[in-house]
Amino acid sequence: MEEISHTGTVVKADADFITVSIVSEAACGSCSAKGLCGVGEQSRKQVVVATPSNELYSVGDEVEVTLKASMGHKAVWYAYAIPLVVLVAVVMIFIASGAGELLSALLGIAAVAVYYFVLWLLRSRLQDQYEFKIRKHKTDIR
């Protein structure tokens, strides 16, 4: 089974959930010239993972957070591919119906905004589909 894995640091741990801070880098984030071109970006994200019953985690522990690769691909579809299709379809439909380009573009952007709003409304249902797993990082095993 393929997994997507990120190394992170435990920032909060209790009986039910562990909050892990991970650093998300762009594809060029590890490039030695990233400081010169300014394209590389790095951001901190927090992931909440259900506490496994067989291990204890403390704040500051270095861990690996994993997710099935298929779930990661599904997230890419929800976040990028479907909104792109919605945008292009709405713009094309309105241009073909004789609406101006500016109006078509604005309606396309509005349609994508509605899509993301619906996605936000369904966030709890979608969140249940994504199961993150956590394990101690190999350098932090005690």
CATH of the domain at 99: 2.40.50
**What pTM was estimated for this model as a whole?**
0.62
pLDDT the model gives residue 26:
56
Between 5 and 92, the more confident residue is 92
CB 134 within 8 A of CB 49: yes
Of the given ranges (12-21, 44-53, 99-108), which has the lowest mean pLDDT?
44-53
Q: Are 118 and 86 in contact (CB under 8 A)?
A: no
Neighbouring C-beta atoms of residue 87, cutoff 10 Å? 18
What's the 3-state SS for 18-74?
A: EEEEEEEECCCCCCCCHHHHCCCCEEEEEEEEECCCCCCCCCCCEEEEEEEHHHHHH
Domain count, the chain: 1
The rounded percent of the chain whose pLDDT value lies above 90 is: 31
Note the pLDDT of residue 100: 94
40-54, 55-69, 75-89: least confidently modelled range: 40-54
Q: Which domain holds residue 131?
A: 3-29+38-140
pLDDT over threshold 50, residue 103: yes
Share of the chain above pLDDT 70, in %: 80
Q: Which tokens go with 102?
A: 């500016």
Give the pLDDT confidence score for residue 29 in this predicted structure: 53
Residue 97 vs residues 85, 93, 100, 103: alpha-carbon distances, Å? 18, 6, 9, 12
Model confidence at 71: pLDDT above 70: yes
Q: Return mean pLDDT, the chain.
A: 80
Instruction: State the Cα–Cα distance between residues 133 and 142, nearest whole angstrom.
Output: 19
